[in-house]
């Protein structure tokens, strides 16, 4: 599949790395362009031994991996790369498939995906939606692409804003929890390096239990929580400070922002 990445940031890098290692992409058929940063473009082409865009070519797959705010400017240059059989894959938060179709004047196969930054470690949780124009083989290839950097699940597009709030932004929430745990440990007397090591391994171990034990989070928590014990005291303090409600508001606010961002980007494009 002759594939063009538009954008050379961290998500494009992660997808290239995973897909090339898995054999989903052939480096002889991978091209990239990045208008904003030529130095970054040179770095990524050298690292993966791939080519800069051939402006005279049309592509089987075009992956939109620029920053969402840059989509409308970049869209002006996409037309020459499209054919009637091109598959467009977008990893742009907040920009709908209908909007992409309209902006590019393209009535063909479009997929919209929401991976997360854990793709860099092959651990992304990716949701992907398809419009009505994809063939079964295009759907399967797209899922395989994202499975090369983690897991991938097909969803309806209207769920992608919520999924952006949950798993797209999710790694940052976990890093925030890690940051707070470490800060508390240091404030209460542990050395910085020891606290960092213990928090990191604790989260890694808990993640492994969630993914490999076959038990739900609620059951795993209850298994650790003895009546009258230290864990029960800690959980009670979290409940007293309404941490459950705070996380609900966290997801709700991020979901609302994803929806608003999409509207803002669409409105801005109409003004130009």
What does the pLDDT look like over 150-162, one tens digit per residue?
999 999 999 999 9
Residue 97 assigned as binding residue: no
Range(s) for CATH 1.10.3730.10 in the chain?
169-241
- Pairwise CA distance, residues 159 & 142, whole Å: 18
Residue 10 assigned as binding residue: yes
Range(s) for CATH 3.40.50.720 in the chain?
3-158
**Shortest CA distance to 92 belongs to which of 3, 20, 168, 159?**
168
CATH topology of domain 3-158: Rossmann fold (3.40.50)
Tell how far CA 265 is from the center of its chain. 19
Residue 66 assigned as binding residue: yes
Residue 152 assigned as binding residue: no
Confidence of residue 254 (pLDDT cuts 50, 70, 90): very high
169-241: CATH number: 1.10.3730.10
Strand order of the sheet with strand 3-6?
51-52, 30-33, 3-6, 61-64, 87-90, 109-114, 124-130, 150-154
- Which residue in the block uniquely carries the two structure tokens 């939606």? 129
Q: How many residues does the chain have?
A: 272
Percent of the chain beyond pLDDT 70?
99
Mean pLDDT of 136-140: 97
Confidence of residue 270 (pLDDT cuts 50, 70, 90): low
Query: Which pLDDT belongs to residue 271?
Result: 61
The alpha helices in the chain, defined as continuous H runs, are: 10-22, 38-48, 71-75, 97-104, 136-147, 160-163, 170-187, 192-212, 217-224, 230-240, 243-271
Confidence of residue 118 (pLDDT cuts 50, 70, 90): very high
Total-model pTM: 0.89
For 89, list phi and psi in degrees, rounded to 5: -120, 120
Under DSSP, is residue 86 helix (H, G, I), strand (E, B) or coil?
coil
Residue 90 assigned as binding residue: no
């Amino acid at each position: 599949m002759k594939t063009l990445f538009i954008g050379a940031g961290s998500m494009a890098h992660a997808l290239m790395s995973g897909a090339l290692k898995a054999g989903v992409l052939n480096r002889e058929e991978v091209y990239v362009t990045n208008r904003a940063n030529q130095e970054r473009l040179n770095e990524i082409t050298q690292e993966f031994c791939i080519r800069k865009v051939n402006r005279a070519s049309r592509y089987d797959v075009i992956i939109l991996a620029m920053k969402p705010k840059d989509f409308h400017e970049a869209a002006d240059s996409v037309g020459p790369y499209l054919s009637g059989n091109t598959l467009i894959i977008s990893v742009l938060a907040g920009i709908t498939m209908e909007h992409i179709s309209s902006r590019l004047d393209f009535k063909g196969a479009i997929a919209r995906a929401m991976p997360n930054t854990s793709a860099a470690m092959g651990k992304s949780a990716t949701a992907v939606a398809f419009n009505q124009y994809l063939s079964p083989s295009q759907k399967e290839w797209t899922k395989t692409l994202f499975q090369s950097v983690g897991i991938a699940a097909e969803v309806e597009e209207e769920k992608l804003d919520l999924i952006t709030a949950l798993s797209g932004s999710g790694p940052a929430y976990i890093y925030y929890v890690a940051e707070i745990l470490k800060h508390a440990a240091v404030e209460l007397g542990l050395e910085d390096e020891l606290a960092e090591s213990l928090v990191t391994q604790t989260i890694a171990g808990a993640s492994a239990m969630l993914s490999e034990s076959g038990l739900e989070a609620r059951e795993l928590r209850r298994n650790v929580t003895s009546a009258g014990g230290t864990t029960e005291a800690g959980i009670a303090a979290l409940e007293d400070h309404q941490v459950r409600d705070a996380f609900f508001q966290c997801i709700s606010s991020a979901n609302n922002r994803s929806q608003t961002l999409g509207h803002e980007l669409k409105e801005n494009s109409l003004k130009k």
